[in-house]
Structure 1
């Protein structure tokens, strides 16, 4: 079987991480995998380094109809058996049309619900177009019950939606001392260290996290991620906020880190105070590494983090509540470790990468039968 994975861009994000996990599992059983992307970046370089070809197709965030024709031609030319897409609204619509034109079944994998523009006329047109194109997909997978409900409310038929929760590999040693990261960044030993891994943008809650950590004497934070949407302007805004907070010595904007996930072994708390989410891979990875999570109950996050059992949930946009939760765990490392261990067990039981990839490969086989 030959599978094409279509991603929304060349940078590393949740959809790309899922696509790569599925691609590796497919190759392990003998399938051939190619990737399609509208841009190049760290993720596409990783894919090519693993021996999977990447071809450029611009069906991303805008409705570029030329991409439909090119994608359909490439699917036919490469004799693809299944097209698995990990996109947003525009790329979902266009890739479904391309798949139908090429007579290739499309697995449309939605990692978050659609967030339509405020203008009612345009939002209504996009909603109708997306709902229509959903009928062209052979299967529609969603990452959480929350996403499923949101798409049903938008107009997707409930019987077409299957929840396949995101999953990660559980590889927790529990032996890291954290000295490498602390030494590199000049963070004192035995001080509470908070980590966030996310692109730098409003909806990931970095401003609230900066304000919360600044109010907690002796607590340090490392924010890993790049400003992919505003060309560095949002990072500058955060830098000014850190400088004005009086906590510049305790809060680090670390940018892109190839070792981002390894850093989970070296911190005390993981935070993700997002405004919107699908089912965040970074939260699952933090839990898999036995780290307590402080997050917001948005999207599928509340299906992963059990408040008071595997982490703490706080309202979005509330830096004071975020500070209280971080402060509680920073002051009680025994409780923090207990929550982290419970989180690791929860991921192992309910959100494993093996379970996710196994179900998706079954979907491929059902379509090929």
Structure 2
């Protein structure tokens, strides 16, 4: 094996989420081709510093335009046929579907896909599903089934997602592998000192309804009505996802004094200010933000749903609450406000869990073994 192509829909994710993998593959002596549609000078330099070669290709990350998507697929086919990698690894929904099909057409011998979460299409928002969303779900399922029939293996981050894809016959069970999270660098995300005064809660997420942002704000209102000094931080930016929340709403919450919102910023300095990490998401793969919080020895409050529940042993390193239950979320926040001695105790448990389960170097070793890279 001489080369591997990793196909993404975002250049930044190659650095932020796949950086250690790019480095590990390069250290194996492989030519690592990092494909993305949105490189800028900074991202190109960062990828090169990891030992990989940035490669541009065309792809619309979001939106539904079948003609554009299939045109992009054929352009990617010609590109892969010219590059001739021995292995292709795709992640994010469009690269998984159209990147896999392009690699199959180009007769790349070993093709792998990573499903990091079910995303907007399959996540239950609690509302009645719209006709448009129902049609989209059917269309995506058909495309997934066709594409994933042409892979050597599919990596999932949690067993619930793997089982759902198998149950829906989107992937054969013998092709499914569970990674248990993409992992974090435990040295980079070292344990930070405990913060007890004021007790500070942090949510890191794109500004999407499905991330539980509204529930976080409502719970914050209840807690601040009783303990006004408590801080609530929200990190994240707007998105083109259909579940995106209007920026005007976020700005109104800030003006109300419920939450502090610095926008899309580096996470670690803000995690250092936090006492407890909160993610009231409706569904995840295994959230990277929660893994970072655990590595920094932060207790976690999250929902008892696929992906999120993989990060918490209820009552040990944090709490699991029912999805979309503002009352339960506020209750667990109040637990830490009124019993701050548990912040440090549970934070230590989080760090130990991160060391045991979310070391990115161990995760990447398993990933490379699955792909036959020794």
- How many residues align? The count is 349
Question: When the two structures are superposed, what TM-score results if normalisation uses the length of structure 1?
Answer: 0.86
Corresponding position of 1:234:
246
Corresponding position of 1:92:
96
Call closer, same or farther: CA 1:57–1:294 in 2, change over 3 Å.
same
Whole-Å separation in 2 of the counterparts to 1:323 and 1:241: 17
* RMSD value, Cα: 2.6
Call closer, same or farther: CA 1:16–1:149 in 2, change over 3 Å.
farther
Unaligned runs of 5+ in 2: 123-128
Whole-Å separation in 2 of the counterparts to 1:173 and 1:352: 12
Call closer, same or farther: CA 1:43–1:283 in 2, change over 3 Å.
farther
Aligned-pair distance for 1:270? 0.7
Corresponding position of 2:126:
none
Check whether the contact 1:169–1:352 (CA below 8 A) recurs between aligned residues.
Answer: yes
SS in 2 for 1:365: coil
Listed as ranges, the matches of 1:242-281 within 5 Å are 242-243=254-255, 246=256, 248=257, 251-257=259-265, 259-281=266-288
Check whether the contact 1:292–1:339 (CA below 8 A) recurs between aligned residues.
Answer: yes
Check whether the contact 2:194–2:344 (CA below 8 A) recurs between aligned residues.
Answer: no
Corresponding position of 2:153:
139
Corresponding position of 2:176:
161
Whole-Å separation in 2 of the counterparts to 1:16 and 1:146: 27
- Provide, for residues 210-258 of structure 1, a one-character-per-residue CA deviation record: whole Å limited to 9, x for no partner: 1212222221011111002279962211222444xx4x1x51111111x
Aligned-pair distance for 1:125? 4.3
Corresponding position of 1:364:
371
Question: When the two structures are superposed, what TM-score results if normalisation uses the length of structure 2?
Answer: 0.84
> Does residue 34 of the first structure (1) align with residue 33 of the second (2)?
yes
Corresponding position of 2:72:
67
Call closer, same or farther: CA 1:230–1:144 in 2, change over 3 Å.
closer
Unaligned runs of 5+ in 1: 179-188
Whole-Å separation in 2 of the counterparts to 1:230 and 1:95: 20
- Provide, for residues 15-72 of structure 1, a one-character-per-residue CA deviation record: whole Å limited to 9, x for no partner: 8744333112112222222222233478666435646314133164444111112212
Check whether the contact 2:194–2:343 (CA below 8 A) recurs between aligned residues.
Answer: no
Corresponding position of 1:8:
9
Whole-Å separation in 1 of the counterparts to 2:194 and 2:254: 27
Check whether the contact 1:204–1:275 (CA below 8 A) recurs between aligned residues.
Answer: yes
Aligned-pair distance for 1:177? 7.4
Whole-Å separation in 2 of the counterparts to 1:30 and 1:11: 23
SS in 1 for 2:154: strand
Call closer, same or farther: CA 1:118–1:131 in 2, change over 3 Å.
farther
Listed as ranges, the matches of 1:1-369 within 5 Å are 1-12=2-13, 17-40=16-39, 46-48=46-48, 50=50, 52=52, 53-58=54-59, 60-61=61-62, 62=64, 63=66, 64-88=69-93, 90-104=94-108, 105-113=110-118, 115-116=121-122, 118-119=130-131, 123-155=137-169, 156-166=171-181, 167-171=183-187, 173-174=190-191, 176=193, 190-216=197-223, 217=227, 218-229=229-240, 234-243=246-255, 246=256, 248=257, 251-257=259-265, 259-365=266-372
SS in 1 for 2:146: helix
Check whether the contact 2:190–2:295 (CA below 8 A) recurs between aligned residues.
Answer: no
